[in-house]
Amino acid sequence: MSFTSKDLSKLINSKEFADYKEKNYRYIILWEKIYARRKDLWLTQSKLWELSQIPQNKISELESWTYWEPWIEIIEKLSKALNIWLEYLFYDSITRKTVELYNYILSKLENVPDIMQFMKLPYFIDLNLIKNNFKQATNFEYIRWNYWPFDKKVYVYQTLFSFNNEKWIKNLKFIYLSNEEIKIIDETLSALPKENWEELKKLSYETKPMKNLWVCLWDNKCMWKVLELK
């Protein structure tokens, strides 16, 4: 199966894409990151070929999911040419859409977020997106843990945004977040005490997925239970 970057919005919402992504997740994630970063920099495939010295046909194959098991040397060259953190391309736990979401959330905060904000704000946004018939924006699988709905992948994103990546992170385009989703994100953030992690903690226990578990703050019931967001 081969896809191009054309008709991207239609493609990523199709059943064909969903079935293919389930079977070939790591290659799709890599393709999304390379394609989106190339678009951030307004680069054509031929220009990226010049910068990376990777043949254009290989870049095309990567972006159409037909180049299997790319060598580490190719990923290293692309990382350098695209001026991004090498681990960002390697980590399957990082998705471009979640990075776009965090980039947007952080632009709306006055202070550097703590881990509770880093975890809870996407949770409330995902809930509202699903409520409005969108898919969740993150690649998190939330579980009930201690003081919050939690996914350990949050630590990778926290590292990504604390790493020396300010320049490329701030210049991201919203390729996978739609205008309609951004409108819901804005509505969600404006309704939340986004700078107050204690209030966010309390509010998370008032959400339907947590109520469905019949848990409350300070108890230890249903630990590691996956939350049903729908």
pLDDT for residue 67: 62
Q: Are both 115 and 158 inside the same structural domain?
A: yes
Contact predicate 119/201, CB 8 Å = no
pLDDT for residue 17: 59
| pTM attached to this predicted model | 0.83
The answer to whether position 28 is within a domain reads yes
How many separate domains does the chain show?
A: 2
Which parts of the chain register pLDDT below 50?
Answer: 1-6
Q: Are both 100 and 170 inside the same structural domain?
A: yes
Q: Are both 106 and 66 inside the same structural domain?
A: no
Domain of residue 135, residue span? 96-211
The answer to whether position 219 is within a domain reads no
Q: Are both 192 and 136 inside the same structural domain?
A: yes
Measure the CA–CA gap between 85 and 128, rounded to whole angstroms.
Answer: 31
Q: Out of 83, 104, 124, pick the residue that ends a domain.
A: 83
Q: How many CA atoms lie within 13 A of 188 on its CB side?
A: 24
Q: Are both 36 and 73 inside the same structural domain?
A: yes
The answer to whether position 40 is within a domain reads yes
Q: Are both 12 and 65 inside the same structural domain?
A: yes
pLDDT for residue 3: 44
The answer to whether position 160 is within a domain reads yes
pLDDT for residue 88: 87
pLDDT for residue 65: 65
pLDDT for residue 186: 98
Q: Are both 204 and 181 inside the same structural domain?
A: yes
Overall size of the chain counted in residues: 230
